[in-house]
Amino acid sequence: MKKITIFLLSTAIFLLAVNVFAKSVSPALVLDISSSKTLSGTAGDFVTVEGTITNSSSQPLNNITTYLSLADNDSKLPVDLEDWSAEKGLYIGTIDAGQKLPLNWKIHFVKAGTYSLIIVAEVAGNELPQVSSITQFQVSLKRNLNPGQVLPVALGMPIVLTFILFILSYKRRVDE
Amino acid sequence: MFKYIWKKEIQGELYTWKSMLWLIIASLLFSFTSYLLLTNKELSLLDQTELMLLLGQIIIGVALLIVAIDASSIITTEFEKETAESLFLAPLSIKDFLLGKFLASLTLWASIFIVSLPYIIVASLGSGLTLPFIGYVAFLGTLGIAGFISFIFGVSLFYRSTKNTITTSLIVLLILATPALFSSTLKNNAPSQFFSKINPVDNMFSSLDNVLVDYKTAILENWQFILPLIVFCLLMAGFLVFATKRFKNQGIIKND
């Protein structure tokens, strides 16, 4: 009797461990950022983040929402996507077993820096989200459109006009 | 004879330091705007053409304001200083008088436009739109400002008072300019769209948008904005003719 109890307990623990292990190594959804190599650019550029979502399970999954998560590597803070992308979340709905769907986000590089990007997917009823691997990209600084040319004009025009004003006033006084 | 009035006004208005000060203020406004637009890190992320549009709107807006204030006083001061009587005793027709004053007000617009040229060139460098930008600011600005000057001169002949003319002109300018700055999403109902189509300020800004942002540089592609502006000019010229006839009937010394 004692042997049977030990056997049953061992079997239960083994099955539980297999179940946990299976869940950790083969998630139901696989996310991937396919445009990771072409993401870097200059502040002001518009780029498209391309990714895929695959249902690797044998069951269809319902109510799936995907969204981007962006973090600034320098400040170690998450970035507010308000200015970066008009399309914050993409609602997938149902994805059939084995089905692979493309994901696209058009984003606007607002500020220079190094960033980490991941795609997150939430399945209704699941406690844990699924995430893609982290993609690092660089946004280089765009100082302005023409700093070298606007400054002389911006400073020069009022100065030139003031100079003309003084000449005219002087000439008028001399004429009188 | 109108040349005499025109020359007198240029000497009296533009040759003085007070009038030159308007141009310096205008240039300071253009300097501040263009420097902010072209160097501010976040604003400069806008498309260059959108910056050009904003600068064009500011140039026309500042010019409208300065010319409106100047045109509001250019005729009425003749009544307030009681110089109108002696002017009309000389062999001078009301037509020459108004034409001379009209050209003097347009000269102020031309001066503001000349001051704005370096800013236009700097802002549009590399965009390939420098010439259309200069051409359309000059053309649209001249049409719109000519219409406003006619309207203000008509009002001046009605009121013969600088204070009332300036107040009326600025209120009308405000009524027309404020909706022109609204985004297209705020103009999605029929009354707003109708007002937008007949509003001269809106037509000037929409045509600039069409040229600079949508790259539709041909006159025919902007005809839907230019035609209402021409109609506005003709209507205001008609209003000025009506006000002039009424002024002639009333005489220089108003009896009411």
Task: Please report the ipTM that was assigned to this predicted complex.
Answer: 0.77
Domain ranges, ordered by start, for chain B: 2-250
pTM: 0.69
What 3-state DSSP class applies to B198?
A: helix
Chain B positions in Cβ-Cβ contact with residue A111 (cut-off 8 Å): 41
Contact B34 A153 (CB under 8 A): yes
CA angle A150, A152, A154 (to 5 degrees): 60
Residue B207: partners with Cβ closer than 8 Å, 6 or more residues away: B136, B140, B222, B225, B226, B229
Instruction: Compute the nearest-CA separation of B189 from chain A (Å).
Output: 25
A27-163 homologous superfamily? Immunoglobulins (2.60.40.10)
User: A53, A121 in Cβ contact below 8 A?
Assistant: yes
Q: Which chain A residues touch B39 with a CB distance below 8 Å? A: 143-145, 147, 150-151
**Residue B6 burial class via C-beta count within 10 angstroms: exposed 0-12, middle 13-18, buried 19 and up:** buried
| Contact residues, chain A, for B123 at CB < 8 Å | 145, 150
The radius of gyration of chain B from alpha carbons, rounded to an integer in Å, stands at 19
Show me where the domains of chain A are located. Answer: 27-163
Q: In chain B, what's the furthest Cα-to-Cα distance? A: 62
Query: Could A44 and B118 be called an inter-chain contact, meaning their C-beta atoms sit closer than 8 Å?
Result: no
Determine the Cα angle at B70 with ends B14 and B228, to 5°: 120
A46-105 confidence digits (pLDDT tens): 888 888 889 888 888 888 899 888 899 988 888 888 777 767 788 888 888 888 888 888
CA distance A122 to A113: 28
Look up tokens 């007949």; give the residue. B198
What digits encode the pLDDT tens for the residues A100-157?
888 888 888 877 889 999 889 888 888 888 888 888 898 887 655 565 678 888 889 9
Cβ pair B15:A168 closer than 8 A:
yes
CA distance B177 to chain A (A): 26
Tokens of B178: 């404020």
CA dist B234 and B247 (Å) reads: 20
